[in-house]
Structure 1
Amino acid sequence: MAVKKHLRLPVTADHRYRIEAGGCPIEVIFDVLGGRWKPILLFAFWEGAQRFSELRRRIPQIAPRILARQLRQLERDGLIARRVDPARPRARLYVLTPVAAPLGEALIPLRDWGARYIRRRLRTTARSPLHRISAHQPRRPEDVIS
């Protein structure tokens, strides 16, 4: 029996459709920022421009292929831009765009809420799946970014 591959639209195509169709803004936000690494990458960019190699060193948990895909998606969505590095003309720097600048102020309360949620969940039950997951994963973006 042959296994059928399911066709899946890229997230960016999906949320562009929602934007054009007058979709829910919250849905679009989570489509654009969805995924494990995009918010963490955006936190790294608030400290300034970053080269691919710098991001790899700062966030060693992310595989190079996944990092490249997330950067392409962030660039396609207009949150970051690629620039030539003046110090190394063959290298590229990724920088935040003006569109992404207000996201820092929006992500900080979400990060703080996540920290409170984890603490509360850990207090209420040590047997929850969240406890097992959080024991092996960073709890704050600062824990991931070196």
Structure 2
Amino acid sequence: MGDQHFKETVELTLKVIGGKWKPVILCHLTEGTHRFGELKREMPAITQKMLTQQLRELEEDAIIDRKVYSQVPPKVEYSLTQYGSTVKELLNVMSEWGEKHQQRDE
């Protein structure tokens, strides 16, 4: 597991879904389609600018889909792509690890 390929692929994974906010955004989107305002309300500590940036990056990496409706006021929805839904397994592993870590500290 300590070979160069392993390290490179872990680094790539972190580049795509790492950071403080992307995993949280993805957790919300595993529940279904969300509008920008809904995501912002569910994550009050994130700034609008950061949420926009993180959503754009996830869209560029084909993890999420952005659907724009031509109406007034504008309506935009975000959802996981078919490929993006494969991240659920990784989020489950992260959640299990977090639970073990939390119990260790108690």
Whether TM-score is above 0.5 comes out as yes
Match of 2:81 among 97, 112, 133: 97
Q: TM-score, normalised by structure 1?
A: 0.62
Structure 1 segments of 4 or more deviating over 4 A?
85-89
* Identical residues among aligned pairs (%): 36
Q: How many residues align?
A: 100
Q: TM-score, normalised by structure 2?
A: 0.83
Please tell me whether residue 49 in structure 1 is matched to residue 33 in structure 2: yes
One-letter amino acid of the counterpart of residue 59, structure 1: M
1:99 and 1:24 map into 2 onto residues whose CA distance is 20
Deviation (angstroms), 1:89: 6.9
Please tell me whether residue 115 in structure 1 is matched to residue 99 in structure 2: yes
Match of 2:16 among 26, 32, 39: 32
Question: Which structure's CA Rg is the greater one?
Answer: 1
1:34 and 1:64 map into 2 onto residues whose CA distance is 19
Q: Which runs of 5+ in 1 are unaligned?
A: 1-22, 124-146
**Corresponding residue for residue 90 of structure 2:** 106
Q: 1:112 to 1:85 in 2, by over 3 A?
A: farther
SS at match of 2:51: helix
Deviation (angstroms), 1:119: 2.4
